[in-house]
Amino acid sequence: MSDVRGASLLSAHPEHSAESPLSIHAMTVAYRRRPVLWDVDYDAPAGALVAIVGPNGAGKSTLIKACLGLVAMASGRVAFWGRPLREVRGRIGYVPQRESVDWEFPVSALDVVCMGRYRKIGWFRPVSRAHKEVARACLARVGMEEYASRQISQLSGGQQQRVFLARALAQEADLYFMDEPFAGVDAATERAIIEVLRELRSAGRTVICVHHDLATAREYFDHVMLLNMRVVAAGPVEEVLTAENLRKTYGGRLTLLSEVSEAVARGEGG
């Protein structure tokens, strides 16, 4: 039963439109007076898994937050399928960084996933059985159905991340933003996340992930945006992850540079 429902979540294709699911134009974000993002232009391809990669403090999370209206832009424009955010909120899913919430909060894993349905439920009304079933199916898709009634503080880091992922699935969105979903997770979770990402892609959804690991970016994603305060390069993985681009992104950071060249060598060798 729940499997069927889980599959049905993906069966309906998002409406096709000529417009890119996410287009950013001339986005500049500044904290106090220091710019964090400078003049970012980007069009995301539809139905792809996109990684935003860059060094610490490159503004990766800020980019996502600015797209979603969580951080104010100093200038620029963001459109989703050619329309402003407020018209398409229902079609956008979000997986925030795990550290952004208090995991001691008194809710169970299922409660958290149900939060993804709140928009569909609406004001004042409690969560109905049908919505709970959907949430349960989403938990099953990330391999967490046994933990549905666990309090969230009793889950491991990876399991918490999967709960967040399930919540995003429960949103039944066409475009997903994920902030470091792979940060500090265990092997099982990494596999589960990849599995879900690929399912989403084959259902025509677009996923935009902040990602910190160059080595796996090549393996997991189709498109990459190299970011360091501004877009250094963006496009298909093979075209973008060149030594030259990486040098520009990571600049003179020696330790990182060696890691990067190693990653590139590994990628080109295999």
* Residues at the interface with another protein (CB under 8 A): 26, 28, 32, 38-39, 41, 65, 68-70, 86, 89-90, 92, 94, 96, 100-102, 104-108, 111-112, 115-116, 118-119, 121, 123-127, 151, 153, 157, 167, 171, 177, 184, 186-187, 230, 232, 248
Query: Which CB atom, from 8 or from 100, has the smaller least distance to another protein?
Result: 100
213 token code pair? 């690991």
* Residue 74 or 203 with smaller CB distance to another protein: 74
* Residue nearer to another protein on the CB measure, 157 or 202: 157
For 197, phi then psi, to 5°, come to -60, -45
Q: Output the smallest distance, CB 26 to another protein, in A.
A: 8
76 torsion bin: left (phi>0), alpha (psi -120 to 50), beta (else): left
Q: How far is the CB of 79 from another protein (least distance, A)?
A: 16
State how far the Cα of 229 lies from the Cα of 35, in Å rounded to an integer. Answer: 8
Closest among 63, 62, 127, 68 to 93, alpha carbons compared: 68
What's the closest the beta carbon of residue 159 comes to another protein, in angstroms?
Answer: 11
d(CA 264, CA 19): 33
**100 vs 202, which CB is nearer to another protein?**
100
Strand 92-95: give its sheet, edge to edge.
92-95, 175-179, 206-211, 49-53, 223-227, 231-236
Q: Would the CA dihedral through 94, 96, 33, 27 be positive or negative?
A: negative
Name the DSSP class of 108. B
Which residue number, 190 or 199, has a Cβ lying nearer to another protein? 190
Give least dist CB 112 to another protein, A. 7
Residue 3 or 105 having the CB closest to another protein:
105
Nearer to another protein, 82 or 251 (CB): 251
CB 147 within 8 A of CB 155: yes
Q: Are 175 and 91 in contact (CB under 8 A)?
A: yes
Minimum CB separation of residue 208 from another protein in Å reads: 13
Minimum separation from the CB atom of position 227 to another protein (A)? 13
Q: Apex CA 203: angle with CA 77 and CA 190, to 5°?
A: 85
Q: In angstroms, give the least distance from the CB of 100 to another protein.
A: 6
